[in-house]
């Protein structure tokens, strides 16, 4: 009888730990827009346009269990503003595209994935 109580207690503990883990895993994560912009700036300068001076992203960026969509705005040295749309998966891989810009020639350029 005593052994059964220990087994039952262990099973209850495992069930409670599993339930807590499932709850925590389903909660959204938030990323600061400033942190994301700081990460994107060198990437955009190196792979898209060396004239980009600033990047600002929506704040906070809410990371869900599925793909997360967020927007950023990049400003070139000449004052041209590029609106960027990104999709990021749970592991952090991002894919972006320029959605609008003052210069129509840049409108459909793709930002290389990271």
What is the percent of the chain where pLDDT is above 90?
28
Q: Can you give the residue range of the structural domain that contains 96?
A: 29-111
Average pLDDT, stretch 98-102? 76
For residue 21, is it within any domain?
A: no
Instruction: With respect to residue 14, please indicate whether it lies within any of the assigned structural domains.
Output: no
pTM of the model: 0.65
Pairing relation of β-strands 81-88 and 94-101?
antiparallel
CA distance 76 to 3: 71
How many domains are there within the chain?
1
Within a domain: 7: no
Specify if 34 maps to a domain: yes
| Residue 35 placed within a domain | yes
pLDDT over 70 at 76, yes or no: yes
pLDDT of residue 77: 86
In a domain, 15, yes or no: no
């Amino acid at each position: 009888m005593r052994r059964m109580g220990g087994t039952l207690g262990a099973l209850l503990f495992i069930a409670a730990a599993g339930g807590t883990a499932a709850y925590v895993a389903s909660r959204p994560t938030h990323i600061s827009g400033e942190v994301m912009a700081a990460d994107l700036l060198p990437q955009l300068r190196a792979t898209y346009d060396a004239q980009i001076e600033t990047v600002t992203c929506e704040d906070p960026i809410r990371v869900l269990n599925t793909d997360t969509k967020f927007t950023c705005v990049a400003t070139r040295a000449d004052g041209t503003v590029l609106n960027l749309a990104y999709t990021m998966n749970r592991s952090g891989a991002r894919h972006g595209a320029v959605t609008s810009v003052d210069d129509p020639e840049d409108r459909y350029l793709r930002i290389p994935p990271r």
